Amino acid sequence: MEAMLFTYVNEKLFSKPTYRAFINLLNNYHPKTGQGEHFSAQQLAEQDTFLEEVMKTNVMKELYGFLHRKNHYNSEEEFVKDLKNMWFGLYSRDKGDRDSSGFEHVFSGEIKHGKVTGFHNWIRFYFQEKEGLVDYYSHIYDGPWDSYPDVLAMQFNWDGYYKEVGSAFIGSSPEFEFALYSLCYIAQPGKKCKLKLGGYPLAIQTYTWHKTTYGNGKKYIATAYVVSSTH
């Protein structure tokens, strides 16, 4: 019998507005790099809906207020436009096609040269496991928290492709992860951003995409993921 990471999740959670908007985005991508991404009008509208819904949450309001006070953004409109560019803007990881984005890589996952890359989200993992597409092997790190959100670093197989180690928050909301990764990317791009969660230290590692830019030389998100502070 194959091991399952998730034995039970109350799916009522997924009807909450931010969860529903997040889940709607996950089927908008080709997992394999080298296949160009082309969004329909509906898929572009789903990106806007997700941003609208997360901006209604306290954690994203707090993040905007913090960045506004630090003079990163003059208005919420400017902030949301930048989030859309840095997370959803397309660039090429393979063969010149605009085949990737920060959001696809981090939250949905990609397959490049026969290996799983990105794929750092528990909701995506849950649904792919439920469909029989993810085979969970083991974890090499389990965070010290005794409640959710927790952090796991896992080994797994996704649709026949191997992920040697992939870290993810478990049980966190889409807005929590989106806010945390955005904070660390904007404040300390390309660095290990040290934080405390429930009194325990952890860090978010982000990387910038250097090959292409948007706006006035701004850089897209290449990846963002949680690491234990001891690693």
**pLDDT, tens only, 92-131:** 998 778 999 999 999 999 999 999 999 999 999 999 999 9
Active site (annotated) includes residue 105: yes
pLDDT at 231: 47
**Dist. CA 77–CA 69, nearest whole Å:** 15
Active site (annotated) includes residue 38: no
- Type of residue numbered 37: E
pTM above 0.85, yes or no: yes
- Type of residue numbered 66: F
**pLDDT, tens only, 18-72:** 999 999 999 999 999 989 999 999 999 999 999 999 999 999 999 999 999 999 9
The neighbouring-strand residues paired with 194 are: 203
- Type of residue numbered 221: I
Residue with tokens 């572009």: 44
Q: Note whether 116 and 163 are within 8 A (CB).
A: yes
Q: For residues 7-17, give the mean pLDDT.
A: 96
Cα dihedral value 188, 193, 197, 199, nearest 10: -120
Considering 112, 139, 163, 219, which one is annotated as catalytic?
A: 163
- pLDDT tier at 228, thresholds 50, 70, 90: confident
Active site (annotated) includes residue 120: yes
Considering 105, 112, 139, 219, which one is annotated as catalytic?
A: 105
**pLDDT, tens only, 142-180:** 999 988 899 999 999 999 999 999 999 999 999 999 999
The residue ranking higher by pLDDT, 227 or 119, is 119
Of the candidates 93, 100, 85, 103, the residue with the CA atom closest to the CA atom of residue 24: 103
